[in-house]
Structure 1
Amino acid sequence: MATLKDIAKKTKVSQSTVSRVLNRDSSLSVSDETRERIFKAASELGYKTVGQRYGDDAFSNKRIGIAQMFELKELLEDIYYLIMKNILEEECFSKQINTVTLFRNGDRKFIKNDDEKLDGIIAIGRFTPEEIEGFKEYTNNIVFIDSSPDEQKYYSIVPNYHLAVRLAINEFIEKGHKDIAFMGSCYTFGDTKAITLDPRFYYYRNSMSDKKLFNKNFVIDCEMNSKSGYDKMKEFIKNSENMPSAIFIASDSIAPGALKALQEENISVPDDISIITFNNTSLSEFANPPLTSIEVYMRENAKAGLLSLDQIWNGENHCKKIVISCELIDRHSVKQL
């Protein structure tokens, strides 16, 4: 049987780090890349923690594929999906579920590197109808996280965007802010990867319009990455006659670039401008200053995905769409006016 020493040797990290990662020690600070490497090695070597050896084996020996909307370069720009995959793999490991990464070949078709069957697929993100049909070559047991392409055919897990935006807007207004900007992509991939109005922008615009506060000049349309956040924030500051007092940033991935642009223009957060981000990853937690953010509970998404697969395996064929609640995590980046 594989040991911690075997995993440490394969991953080139210490045995203590391997042990703490596999036992999900929340106090351990380790990169997502290292965490993923450890779980992958443990799975490949067939390692089981003490809890797994004596725990519930309802999921044991199942084998699922994990498909990602983004390629590696895009994942590094928007770490939300990378973190979601890592968390899903952790949950699978804890339940003794074997995972296989599905990746696109030169024809953009999802493939895997072996001929063994899959008991299910969890697809993270948005996928075209053709990609979804391609999944069925491996299994009909498909669950989607962060999209809902067909509520009559597939189980899906999605964040509560409406609640998320409402929490952010209400926090700003309760602190006296009325000039509230939106920063993010106004149009993003929809549930079947067709370009559509982004739900965060949709609910922002509707909420602000209902309150007679919407200002089209306070919409900073940018890609969901740090570089675009930096470029568009610099452009916005240069061209704006009046700056907003607050900004809702639609993804943590934008925040580092936006903050850098603000700092270069000597605009202080929260003294000069208040910020709330969406996703609550380490990018908001360890920003300078730390940013108030909307927590979307990625681990609950992963658990719901596995619960959905379990229901499918047990013959529950009536599809369900699970909407995961969210919460505002206050890090004092919103100033009281």
Structure 2
Amino acid sequence: MTPVELSRTVLHAVRRAVDDGELSVTVPERVVVAPPGPGGCGDYATNVALQLARPAGQPPLRVAEILRPRLAGATGVRDVVVTGPGFLNISLEGEGRGAADAALVAEIRAAGRSYGHGDALAGQVVELRVPYDVRAEVVADALGRIIASQGGRVAIDHREPVNVRPVPAPEDPAPLGPDAARWALLHPAAHDRPRVTADHLVQREANPLFRVRYAHARTRALLRNAARLGFAPEPGPLDQSEGQGAGHVLCDTLADHPRILGAAATHRAPDRLARHLVTLADATFPLLPAVLPIGEEKPSAAHRARLALAEAAGTVLAGGLSLLGIDAPDHL
């Protein structure tokens, strides 16, 4: 069960409690599941009981106890334990977290660059009225793709009153080139003044755009090098190795990608996607040294699983950049 599937399972438990008359709340659109924090247990935890306590007019622990048996009886869930003020800690059947990570990687490989696309805005036409300004035009163009990824359609015009007015760039970004110029305009939040400087062109760690594109290029290089060594990516549980902790963190970041895309679309905020890609790139780098065999080591199932995870990360990075209108080169 992937984190996205588990989130849907938690929502289904909430709906059942509402239908049974034990909770009187509006069922949220999404709930967050994440690795348990200090004092937690199991494979994943959710704070949905704390989220619903105030609108339900009940203590969080009571809400958690209402949800626990409905969640514990769901397919793929082995056990649910309530800890702290009302956190639901979920243990999955089978190989637990390892199986969930493998399922997530398989899902991304099947979806390709469309991973995270959904139908939250299906049938909706979103009108974007923008001023005659280069940054506003670039933001609207990116929003067209991001909103389309959630099933919606964008109509762009320049009529008043405008409803998309990011702070203009202090100077013409064109000298940076198309990719760096778009990043300079899209990465800051709409209320922040963008920096139009040559820093966006420098290939070093301090440049977020470079980190994102370099992480993608590194995953593609690993695939080429693995092919030369005679093995290919294959989703599977990560073993007890230096790559495991980094792999789990990376899987958590990948699992959050659909939520980020949905938020970027509904809030008209391409900067949310840009910042998420930086977070994803930074989560990718620690895994990479453990992907290929070292010395006389032979390729194993663990190497194939890590390679599949690296491949998935590169795919999501490329897909996110494409939604922003930025190229993701295989070589840097």
When the two structures are superposed, what TM-score results if normalisation uses the length of structure 2?
A: 0.26
When the two structures are superposed, what TM-score results if normalisation uses the length of structure 1?
A: 0.26
Higher helix fraction (1 or 2): 2
Higher strand fraction (1 or 2): 1
